[in-house]
Amino acid sequence: MNTKPAKTKINLLSLSKQELADFFVSIGEKPFRATQIIKWIHQRGVSDISLMTDLSKDLREKLLKECEIRAPEIEREEYSEDGTKKWIIKVGEKDLIEMVLIPENDRSTLCVSSQAGCAVDCSFCATGKQGFSRNLGLDEIIGQVWIAANSFGLPRESASRNITNVVMMGMGEPLLNFIPVVEAMKLMMDDNAYGLSKRKVTLSTSGIVPKIDELSKVSDVALTISLHAPNDQLRNELVPINKKYPIQELLDSVKRYVASCDDKRVTTIEYILIDGINDDLSHAEELSVLLEQLPSKINLIPFNAFEGSNYLKPSGNRVKRFQEYLKNKGYVTTIRSTRGDDIMAACGQLVGQVNDKTRRKERAQKNKIQIKAI
């Protein structure tokens, strides 16, 4: 009896472009096969290797034996009344992550997760409150884009819509899962894959300074900074990573990032408005002075409530007043409209996993390890 365990197949979604080229070379093929296969998978949405007709029959047979194209499993899909769609996706053994698609006129923005949970533990964030569980692999990150793109219908050429923008603003801190996130963003911008321009791929970060510097060496995607407070004292409370990388260090690293890009950049600053915490006119004033050093656009996000949080959303008037102050100071200041609130798909409401007791304990442990590594 043959007791040898079945060989696990290589998931082609988990290989970067370079790794795909290396893989083909390792089986005696030319590296350009990587581009061919990327086109099939990401441009055409094809997962059946036998349909990849510009590969020889022999090669297809070989690939069928050794490889697979396996996107993460969809647990559930939810639809909001405003057209926003949320996918709950299973990753690994027991984690659930969320991805959100926001259609607006001819735009379709996809909000992608980079980690299951998050160790940064911002005081206003539902994802942070559940702690860190695991980093997503490249297959799980680019797999989200693949799933969403395929949801518009196949073949891709005749699909009803396309993904026009990707924001790394789902669950997790993308810069703490650096390599898979960077490789996934490369595929999003690859003309043979999703072909998005660097301005249509946005990475949002709470401010992991050394990683912003690292990013400037390998990518020039749009960078968004989750600032949320105009001084260190308040930011230490809201975004605890600030104790390690305070505001001025963060802004200096953003300046270096902007300088490394070969086009003119205006950095988007995200600022959650929490009633009575950071939404006073004195905060707006402090913010306007702080940001004089950096060409920036300010995106105000009225706090989205979630179970277990004591914070409140400020009134519409308070939000307007804050915005007007910044506008008068010359800043382009927008208020992010809340989308998908009815299905808990709005910013900071992404929780994903079932929060049982054992899982919480396990997460607390993993969280400690991740925090030490930051």
If one asks whether residue 125 binds ligand SF4 (CB under 6 A), the answer comes out as yes
- Which residue from 16, 127, 130, 165 is in contact with ligand SF4, where contact means CB under 6 A? 127
If one asks whether residue 346 binds ligand SF4 (CB under 6 A), the answer comes out as no
Sites for ligand SAH among residues 34-93 (CB under 6 A): none
User: Helix/strand/coil (H, E, C) string of 275-305?
Assistant: CCCCCCHHHHHHHHHHHHHCCEEEEEEECCC
Annotate 53-95 with DSSP letters as a single string: TTS-HHHHHHHHHHEE--PPEEEEEEE-TTS-EEEEEEETTTE
Q: Is 347 a catalytic residue?
A: yes
Distance, CA of 85 to CA of 274 (rounded, Å)? 26
C-beta of 305: minimal distance to ligand SAH in Å?
7
If one asks whether residue 147 binds ligand SAH (CB under 6 A), the answer comes out as no
Query: Do 102 and 357 form a contact (C-beta atoms < 8 A)?
Result: no
Stretch that binds ligand SF4, among 5-13, 32-40, 120-128, 189-197 (CB under 6 A): 120-128
If one asks whether residue 135 binds ligand SAH (CB under 6 A), the answer comes out as no
Stretch that binds ligand SAH, among 7-15, 63-71, 255-263, 298-306 (CB under 6 A): 298-306
Q: How many CA atoms lie within 13 A of 82 on its CB side?
A: 18
Residues in the chain: 374
3-state secondary structure of 323: helix
Q: Which residue is nearest to ligand SAH (CB)?
A: 348
If one asks whether residue 279 binds ligand SAH (CB under 6 A), the answer comes out as no
Mark residues 191-230: x for contact with ligand SF4 by CB under 6 A, - for none.
---------------x-------------------x----
Q: What is residue 42's DSSP assignment?
A: I
Q: Which of 98, 140, 173, 183 is catalytic?
A: 98
Provide the token pair at 142: 């680019």
If one asks whether residue 128 binds ligand SF4 (CB under 6 A), the answer comes out as yes
Report phi then psi at 89, rounded to 5.
Answer: -120, 140
Cα pseudo-dihedral 127, 343, 185, 249, rounded to 10: -40
Positions that interact with ligand SAH (CB under 6 A): 124-125, 169, 173, 204-206, 226, 270, 272, 301, 303-304, 347-348
